[in-house]
Amino acid sequence: MSAVIEEHHDHHDHKPTGIGRWLFSTNHKDIGTMYLWFSFLMFFIGGTLALVIRAELFEPGLQFVEPEFFNQMTTLHGLIMVFGVIMPAFVGLANWMVPMMIGAPDMALPRMNNWSFWLLPGAFGILIASLIMSIMGMGSAPNFGWTFYAPLSTTYGPASTDYFIFSVHLMGISSIMGSINIIATIMNMRAPGMTYMKMPIFVWTWFITAYLLIAVMPVLAGAVTMMLTDRNFGTSFFNAAGGGDPVMFQHIFWFFGHPEVYIMILPSFGIISEIVPTFARKKIFGYSSMVYATASIAFLSFIVWAHHMFTTGMPVAGELFFMYATMLIAVPTGVKVFNWVSTMWKGSMTFETPMLFAIAFIFLFTIGGFTGLMLCITPADFQYHDTYFVVAHFHYVLVTGAAFGIMAGVYFWLPKWTGNMYDETLGKWHFWTSVISVNVLFFPMHFVGLAGMPRRIPDYSLQFAEFNAMASVGAFAFGFCQLIFLYNVIKTARGKTSVKATGQVWEGAHGLEWTLPSPAPFHSFTTPPQVK
């Protein structure tokens, strides 16, 4: 290791080679690349599980999987998508872009960076091992939903729950180390002249997200540790028969879980705030109000957790408090949307793939925001809670929100990473097929949810048949469209596209990362640029 580091001082662009380049990497770009590929792989695994779910729900009756296995599918799909796809993709983007955007040579803590990535394959190896064992008939994989409510996951959890606990601990450590690194980088390594209020919005959103992560990942770790001791060492944190409290589990889980949903959207807000000005050829509207809005969303996210628990029987004062607090989140979220629209207003827009995904994000995330507003109205939530209406809501914010933001970011920065333009035609195909199929997939879920279909069920009554079949058709279409994305990324990375990217890449691009050549050099800014 030290030999490698010393070498860096002599030849600036010397890359270590072979497997060691990846295993021992301390380079922010290589680590970013690994995060992104890891996330991509998990996207296809989690997606396959989702397709098993949708295949089973295509028509009434049980056809492909037993109810027990079905529950394992929803659980692992949720866990993989949340912890294995969205979060690692964001960390990968932060790794690549934060040092370049603030004019730094690398991340502040490169060795920790290596460690925080390499914990992830371990964590997911363990989780997926439990699924493989289940398929081979050696006990059940986690089957209690990604929310793992006690006592279903404690007293009644399968043996593999202990694997799950260990895996969550590893993911938590990885995320905490990743966030410490991002905070340290942003606080200490900004180029001279780059004050906080001159940082790109993507950097700002990640800065705030990293604090959220540090605040709530330990809470999650606490919850799973209490589960561990309840299961194996005779404690009764969540066991009513021993004087424990199953509702307390939900409070702890959602104290983590609600900020977690903002962890999964704020960096996408940042990406969209980079892309829209670039393709509208106009500065972001209301920079400082964007920053304040992000910070207020982050603050509010800590005081709304029990809106997931209205049906647990809270005192009415609690229900009112959590309803009002949740409604408040709509205000800063609205500010963000209005600012994006104002940025587009009277711009000079072009519609390359990143912009298309960004615009789809604004439309579809807003739809998810509207259903969110509906959900926070407590008396109505009694009807929506735990139905497909909620499933529709969180897929609008996670898939057409978080995931579309990531896809937009990948198209936006891929030329900078690889030095090659991606194939625009394929990009457009990917966009249009995805945006149509994703709505065929998720929009009908609103209807079946309102009509009374609970979530997490392997079979349903006949009146839900039509829209479920429609959603399943959309699901398979959406799943297969992602292969276009995969192909396009590989083709670009291998330099098989005809156009080489310039340093500037996009006509309207502003910011330090675009002052570097494409592909960006192995060590980003060896001498700090001056920001005016």
Partner 1 sequence: MIAAMRVAGLLGLMLLSGESLADYQLNMVPGVTEFSQGAYEIHTMVMWICVVIGIVVFGAMIYSIINHRKSKGAVAADFHESTTLEIIWTIIPFVILIVMAIPATKVLLAMEDVSGTEMSVKVTGYQWKWHYDYNVGEKAEEISFFSNITTPDSLSIATSGNVVKGDNYLTDVDNRMIIPTDTKVRLLFTSNDVIHAWWLPQFGVKKDAIPGFINESWISVPEPGIYRGKCAELCGTNHGFMPIVVEALSKEDYAAWVDGQKSAAAEVAASASKTWSKADLMAKGEQVYATFCAGCHQANGEGLPNVFPGLKGSAVATGDISKHLDVVFNGVAGTAMQAFGGQLNDVDMAAVVTYERNAWGNDVGDMAQPSDVKAMR
| 505 forms part of the interface with ligand HEM (CB under 6 A) | no
Q: Which is nearer to partner 1, 122 or 454 (CB)?
A: 454
| 103 forms part of the interface with ligand HEM (CB under 6 A) | no
Instruction: Give the interface with Cu ion as residue ranges (CB under 5 A).
Output: 258
Is there a contact between 407 and 481 (Cβ–Cβ < 8 Å)? no
| 335 forms part of the interface with ligand HEM (CB under 6 A) | no
Task: Establish whether 9 is a catalytic residue.
Answer: no
Amino acid of residue 459: D
In the set 77, 190, 395, 416, the catalytic residue is 77
Task: Establish whether 175 is a catalytic residue.
Answer: yes
Residue from 16, 47, 142, 257 that binds ligand HEM (CB under 6 A)? 47
| 391 forms part of the interface with ligand HEM (CB under 6 A) | yes
Amino acid of residue 98: V
Task: Establish whether 29 is a catalytic residue.
Answer: no
DSSP 109: -
Residue from 45, 51, 227, 407 that binds ligand HEM (CB under 6 A)? 51
CB of 1 to Cu ion, least distance (A): 42
Binding string to ligand HEM for residues 409 to 448, with x set by CB under 6 A, is what?
A: --------------------------------x-------
Task: Establish whether 10 is a catalytic residue.
Answer: no
258 binds, among Cu ion, partner 1, ligand HEM, none (CB under 5 to 8 A by kind): Cu ion
Q: Rounded to whole angstroms, how far apart are CA atoms 520 and 101?
A: 12
67 binds, among partner 1, ligand HEM, Cu ion, none (CB under 5 to 8 A by kind): partner 1
Task: Establish whether 231 is a catalytic residue.
Answer: no
Q: Which is nearer to partner 1, 35 or 467 (CB)?
A: 467
262 binds, among ligand HEM, partner 1, Cu ion, none (CB under 5 to 8 A by kind): none
| 146 forms part of the interface with ligand HEM (CB under 6 A) | yes
Q: How far is CA 274 from the centre of its chain?
A: 18
CB of 429 to partner 1, least distance (A): 20
105 phi, psi to nearest 5 deg: -75, -35
| 390 forms part of the interface with ligand HEM (CB under 6 A) | no
**Looking up tokens 């060492």, which residue turns up?**
233
Residue from 455, 492, 513, 518 that binds ligand HEM (CB under 6 A)? 455
| 77 forms part of the interface with ligand HEM (CB under 6 A) | yes
The window from 172-180, 360-368, 394-402, 511-519 that contacts ligand HEM (CB under 6 A) reads: 394-402
In the set 167, 273, 278, 518, the catalytic residue is 273
| 81 forms part of the interface with ligand HEM (CB under 6 A) | yes
Task: Establish whether 268 is a catalytic residue.
Answer: no
Task: Establish whether 456 is a catalytic residue.
Answer: no
Q: Which is nearer to ligand HEM, 31 or 51 (CB)?
A: 51
Task: Establish whether 307 is a catalytic residue.
Answer: yes
Task: Establish whether 236 is a catalytic residue.
Answer: no
Task: Establish whether 288 is a catalytic residue.
Answer: no
Task: Establish whether 2 is a catalytic residue.
Answer: no
312 binds, among ligand HEM, partner 1, Cu ion, none (CB under 5 to 8 A by kind): partner 1
In the set 308, 395, 416, 430, the catalytic residue is 308
Q: At what angle do helices 110-135 and 161-188 cross, to 10 degrees?
A: 160
Is there a contact between 91 and 36 (Cβ–Cβ < 8 Å)? no
Q: Rounded to whole angstroms, how far apart are CA atoms 26 and 477?
A: 39
The pair of structure tokens assigned to 208 is 């705030």
DSSP 517: -
196 binds, among partner 1, ligand HEM, Cu ion, none (CB under 5 to 8 A by kind): none
387 phi, psi to nearest 5 deg: -115, 180
Residue from 207, 478, 514, 522 that binds ligand HEM (CB under 6 A)? 478
Task: Establish whether 146 is a catalytic residue.
Answer: yes
Burial (CB count <10 Å: 0-12, 13-18, 19+), residue 97: buried
Residue from 392, 410, 282, 400 nearest 348 by CA:
282
Burial (CB count <10 Å: 0-12, 13-18, 19+), residue 246: middle
**Looking up tokens 């709530």, which residue turns up?**
216
Is there a contact between 280 and 299 (Cβ–Cβ < 8 Å)? no
For Cu ion, the nearest residue by Cβ is 258
CB of 2 to partner 1, least distance (A): 48
Residue from 328, 313, 311 nearest 383 by CA:
311
**Which residues have a Cβ under 8 Å from the Cβ of 84 and sit 6 or more positions away?**
38, 39, 42, 45, 46, 120, 124
Residue from 57, 155, 140, 29 nearest 388 by CA:
57
454 phi, psi to nearest 5 deg: -70, 160
Per residue, the 3-state secondary structure of 233-254, as one string, reads CCCCCCCHHHCCCHHHHHHHHH
Residue from 26, 27, 33, 74 that binds ligand HEM (CB under 6 A)? 74
Q: Rounded to whole angstroms, how far apart are CA atoms 435 and 129?
A: 33
In the set 175, 179, 268, 278, the catalytic residue is 175
CB of 219 to partner 1, least distance (A): 20
Q: Rounded to whole angstroms, how far apart are CA atoms 205 and 262?
A: 10
Q: Rounded to whole angstroms, how far apart are CA atoms 404 and 413?
A: 14
Task: Establish whether 336 is a catalytic residue.
Answer: yes
Task: Establish whether 68 is a catalytic residue.
Answer: no
Give residue 420's region: left, alpha or beta (phi > 0; psi -120 to 50): beta
| 53 forms part of the interface with ligand HEM (CB under 6 A) | yes
CB of 281 to ligand HEM, least distance (A): 30
* Residues in touch with ligand HEM (CB under 6 A): 47, 50-51, 53-54, 74-75, 77-78, 81-82, 85-86, 145-146, 391, 395, 398-399, 403, 441, 455-456, 475, 478-479
Give me the active site residues, please: 77, 106, 146, 174-175, 258, 260, 262, 273, 307-308, 333, 336, 455
